[in-house]
Structure 1
Amino acid sequence: MDDNKKNRDFLDRDRLSVDQYHEAEHFAREHGVSPSQVSRLIKKSGNDRMSLTQAVRALRDRK
């Protein structure tokens, strides 16, 4: 993380960090799935937030 708080970039928000468990946990809580499902979806479709959101919707539609 950058020390300069005024230097914000939109690129960090477009991707979900695979190494940070709390980010996956937060994303899972937001979308009503388990963190392990988020981890599997990241491995399957990458860590782009938009593609993960679409994958979660598809997962929920299958149920």
Structure 2
Amino acid sequence: MAKTHTSRGRAQDRARVAGGQDHEVNYEAKKEGVSKETVKKAVKSAGNSRKKVETEIGRH
């Protein structure tokens, strides 16, 4: 998994979608062409793995 560090030295994991972070939900929704609620539901049912979320969105 690709981990990068922010300017504060915290690790970020680009392979995950933080369902509680509006900017991440907005990004994924825009990228997939779906609503924010659809992304949040996908994170809830499939977990926060970006690949799993994208697969779950593709099913609907």
Q: What are the superposed Cα offsets for residues 2-52 of structure 1, whole Å, 9 maximum, x if unpaired?
A: 524xx8x6x610101122111001100000100011111111111100001
More helix by share: 1
Q: Give the corresponding residue for 2:17.
A: 16
More strand by share: 2
- Percent of aligned positions with the same letter in both sequences? 27
Unpaired stretches in structure 2, ≥5 consecutive residues: 1-5
TM-score, normalised to structure 1, is: 0.74
TM-score, normalised to structure 2, is: 0.77
Unpaired stretches in structure 1, ≥5 consecutive residues: none
For the aligned residue pairs, the C-alpha RMSD in angstroms reads 2.0
Q: Give the corresponding residue for 2:29.
A: 28
**Runs in 1 of length 4+ with deviation above 3 angstroms?**
none
